[in-house]
């Protein structure tokens, strides 16, 4: 690969290169530039946030996207050499390479403030239970099933709290253990 815009570093050997979980590799811009099988493209990631949550594509203009580990995607506010062997690069935004892509709590808090779709706005008690990591019945939601943005109103605007999994009338909190808080 000589194209500087394509960091999906690989060779032209008969067997395609595999994802190396120990380092960060920049995502290819489009499917045509993909070298590592199964690696999402920048286009797919931007499109997924827009399609699923209505997050405007411009949100990501200043960020490069990277994969480390098995489908862990990171957004970084600048560009650096690829691959790069560092411990962390920006913010972990998304888990791919599974049937349903799952955004991270921190990504939703940072990037889903302008989300317009699949946003479940919780009242005070519901928000508190969600932040504690509790699952709750929520029969009033008639949007999509799957991973939703759980939000509440605070200081004059709706703010994302984290990622919920909505299934069979129940909203499950996916707030990681280390971020759960009893705010009652």
Partner 1 sequence: MQPLERYASLLDDYDAFRTACERPLPSVVRVNTLKASIERARDALDAEGVAYEATDWHPGVLRLDERGPGTSWPYFHGWLHGQEEVSALPALALDPQPGEVVWDACAAPGSKTTQIADLMDDTGVLVGNDNNLGRLSALRHNAERLGITNLAVTNQDARNFSFKPFGDRTEDEKRIEAFDRALVDAPCSCEGTIRKNPDALARWSMEHVKGIVGIQKGILRRAIQATRPGGTVVYSTCTFAPEENEAVLDHALDEANCEIVEWDAPEGFETDPGITEWNGEEYDSSVELAHRVYPHRNDTGGFFCAKLEVTA
Stretch that binds partner 1, among 14-22, 38-46, 69-77, 134-142 (CB under 8 A): 69-77
Could you give the CA distance from residue 9 to residue 84 in angstroms, rounded to a whole number?
11
Q: Which distant-in-sequence residues (6+ apart) come within 8 Å of 102 by Cβ?
A: 94, 95, 147, 163, 174
Among 161, 163, 173, 174, binds partner 1 (CB under 8 A): 161
Binding residues among 77-96 for partner 1 as defined by CB under 8 A: 77-82, 84-92
Quick one: DSSP state of residue 50? H
- The interface mask with partner 1, positions 120-159, x = CB under 8 A, is -----------x----------------------xxx--x
The two three-digit tokens of residue 8, written as one number = 């999906």
Q: How far is CA 153 from the centre of its chain?
A: 22
Q: Which is nearer to partner 1, 35 or 158 (CB)?
A: 158
Q: How far is the CB of 61 from partner 1 (least distance, A)?
A: 12
Q: Provide the sign of the torsion angle of the four alpha carbons 170, 176, 182, 184, taken in this order.
A: negative
The two three-digit tokens of residue 25, written as one number = 């590799």
Residues that bind partner 1 (CB under 8 A): 4, 62-63, 75-82, 84-92, 104, 106, 109-110, 131, 154-156, 159, 161, 178-179, 181-183
């Amino acid at each position: 690969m000589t194209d500087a815009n394509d960091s999906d570093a690989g060779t032209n050997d008969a067997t395609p290169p595999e994802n190396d979980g120990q380092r960060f590799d920049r995502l290819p811009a489009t499917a045509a530039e993909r070298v590592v099988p199964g690696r999402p493209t920048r286009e797919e990631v931007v499109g997924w946030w827009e399609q699923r949550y209505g997050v405007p594509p411009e949100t990501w203009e200043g960020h490069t996207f990277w994969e480390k580990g098995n489908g862990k995607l990171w957004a970084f506010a600048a560009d650096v050499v690829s691959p790069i062997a560092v411990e962390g690069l920006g913010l972990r935004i998304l888990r791919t390479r599974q049937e349903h892509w799952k955004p991270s709590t921190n990504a939703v808090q940072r990037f889903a403030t302008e989300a317009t779709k699949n946003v479940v706005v919780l009242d005070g008690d519901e928000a508190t239970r969600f932040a504690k990591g509790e699952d709750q019945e929520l029969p009033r939601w008639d949007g999509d099933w799957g991973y939703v943005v759980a939000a509440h109103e605070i200081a004059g605007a709706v703010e994302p709290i984290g990622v919920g999994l909505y299934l069979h009338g129940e909203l499950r909190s996916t707030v990681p253990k280390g971020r759960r808080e009893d705010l009652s």
